[in-house]
Amino acid sequence: MNTEESIELWSKRFSDRKLSRLKVDVWCEKNHISRHAYYYWHRKIQVIKQREEKKDTFVEVAHLSLEAIPISQENKAIDLVITWNGFSITIRKSADIPIVAELMQRLVRQC
């Protein structure tokens, strides 16, 4: 059995365990699986999922409204203002742009 098949098998097992509503120890004993193997694959699949999430580096923006901002002493330092779905994000330092990009990715996934 290759790694992909093992991941698929264990993902199904995790789903079955959740549906059974049994505690991990009880489910493992009933299905003749060691707790060690269960938690080993659980951690392994979590790491794989986290790596896949980090691969997404770009966010598609369906609609971006740009508004003219009057220049005053208060907002001369503003580098970027993003307005999306009724929310506005103001970025004052270009160093914060990667943080905002990550925030937008997570918002798009949640919405």
User: Span 17-37, mean pLDDT?
Assistant: 95
Q: Which residues contact 18 (CB under 8 A, 6 or more apart)?
A: none
pLDDT digits (tens, 9 = 90+) for 58-73: 666 665 555 555 555 5
Q: What is the pTM of this model?
A: 0.48
- 50 and 63 co-located in one domain: no
| pLDDT, position 87 | 73
Count of domains in the chain? 2
| pLDDT, position 37 | 95
User: Please, which pLDDT band fits residue 38 given cuts at 50, 70 and 90?
Assistant: very high
Tally Cβ neighbours within 10 Å of residue 39: 12
- 31 and 62 co-located in one domain: no
| Residue 29 lies in domain | 3-55
User: Amino acid identity, residue 17?
Assistant: R
- 33 and 63 co-located in one domain: no
